Amino acid sequence: MDWQWWNTVSNIALIINIILAAFMVIFGKKDATSLWAWLMVLFFLPVLGFFLYLLLGRSAGKKEWSNNTLPSIGGMLECQKESFADNRLFLPDSLPGQLRSLVGMLLKNDDSALSQENKVSVYTDGQEKFEALFDDIQAAKQHIHLQYYIVREDRLGSQLRDLLIQKAKEGVKVLFLYDGFGSRKIGRKFFSELHRQGGEAKSSFPIVSSLLKLRLNFRNHRKLAVIDGRVGYMGGFNVGDEYLGQNEALGYWRDTHLRMEGISVHLLQERFILDWTKANRDNGINFDDSYFPDPASDGDVPLQIVSSGPDARGGEILHGFIKIIQEAEDYIYIQSPYFIPTPGFLASLRVAALSDVDVRIMIPNKPDHPFVYPVTFSFVAEMMRAGAKIYIYEHGFLHAKSMVVDDKVSSVGTSNVDMRSAELNFELNTFIYHRRFAQEMKEIFHKDMASSTQLTEETYNDRSFYQKAKESVFRLLSPLL
């Protein structure tokens, strides 16, 4: 009797699995690689695999999160599109001619306006970055807009919150947007005093509502700050003591972050207002000219700020990366904590390496996500066999997300070289067309090389059987990581 009962249950589970697999194939709208990975999960975890798919594998509703522009940016954007189509868009001397198509692609497909005459400073040390940010917040007179994926309830997080409370008491309008999953450890009382003083802190994709809506896999990974519409920050640093190198397990935290002045700050402001309004539909930000003051920058750096996420057309930052790689003639330097590229990115980078372009990839020497690191190692080894040089950063944890090519173009932002950043996360990157800045980024990479070891065929082949097995198994799941 027990055997008959078990046989019946097994048959029912098999039928359910077949139905669910058909559902994924017909309605899932996944690429073949991702679809096969999910089918494998369904095969090994019958029924449970489908609930995991509902929670972690569904696509976002683009209509619900449509990406609109604000009046202050929309006029400039449409003018630039028309000028580019008629070959009238002014491109500065610092912008190489072969990158014109990259500018046009990002302008047309991501509504990324070309901003010129900006001042841009780069920070690679958390202490220096937060000292500069705190100084700018201290000087704020009108508003402070902050957005971070992770905010910790620790010394740095408390220091930032207390400074925001002080500014709110002074009458400065303070808005803080954080991701519900990345900042899930924040207690309910952490921002209570800020709220009492008139500031606001809101969660993007709160965990409870994300679970109820089966959208736990979507995360707002952007990190930016706008102070009085005149100074902006964006890049890889989150808010927590580990970003100051105070986590013993990870050690020194090596990241890349930008400080900006100029029209580029207006573009960051637009991004924040859109994200805040999407996360708080009942309490959005009304358009106000005071958020977009006349820029006072005398800089000379042209750039585009590019957003991507499951709400957009798809892969805007990724397409920018691939276009840069395809235009490379001399070198490509990439830093990323995770290297799990999409097939298109991997193919383009392999072709560059096989074409004698000097491809160098730098990754950390330790994982902060144990499932991801073995897959990263597998992919960098593939690039090594194609002729790329692979560097393992040894001086702490490398969290930088940057690329520099041919002393011509650089990209710094929140997007990792992985499938999650390409397809699931809401990301933000700056594409910078400036020779002097690119040379600075190249020098930073060379400096980091002095704190790195180069991966060789010999050291890679010397891995233990356990390490090799993990890489082989986890790589099968790479589309889901």
Rounded Cα distance between 51 and 404, Å, is: 41
Beta carbons of 99 and 424 less than 8 angstroms apart: no
Residue carrying structure tokens 């995770």? 338
The one catalytic residue in 401, 408, 434, 470 is: 401
The one catalytic residue in 221, 278, 319, 408 is: 221
The one catalytic residue in 30, 278, 319, 399 is: 399
Beta carbons of 455 and 382 less than 8 angstroms apart: no
Rounded Cα distance between 338 and 319, Å, is: 18
For 295-333, b/e burial (b = at least 16 CB within 10 A) is bebebbbbbbbbbbbbbbeebbbbbbbbbbbebbeebbb
Terminal alpha carbon distance of the chain: 43
The one catalytic residue in 223, 257, 278, 323 is: 223
User: What pairing do the DSSP bridges indicate for beta strands 253-261 and 114-125?
Assistant: antiparallel
The one catalytic residue in 179, 255, 275, 406 is: 406
Q: Is 401 a catalytic residue?
A: yes
User: What pairing do the DSSP bridges indicate for beta strands 253-261 and 397-398?
Assistant: parallel
The Cα angle at residue 292 between residues 258 and 401, in degrees rounded to 5: 20
The one catalytic residue in 110, 228, 275, 418 is: 228
Beta carbons of 426 and 220 less than 8 angstroms apart: yes
Rounded Cα distance between 243 and 256, Å, is: 11
Residue carrying structure tokens 């699995």? 17
Q: Is 30 a catalytic residue?
A: no
Q: Which residues are catalytic?
A: 221, 223, 228, 399, 401, 406
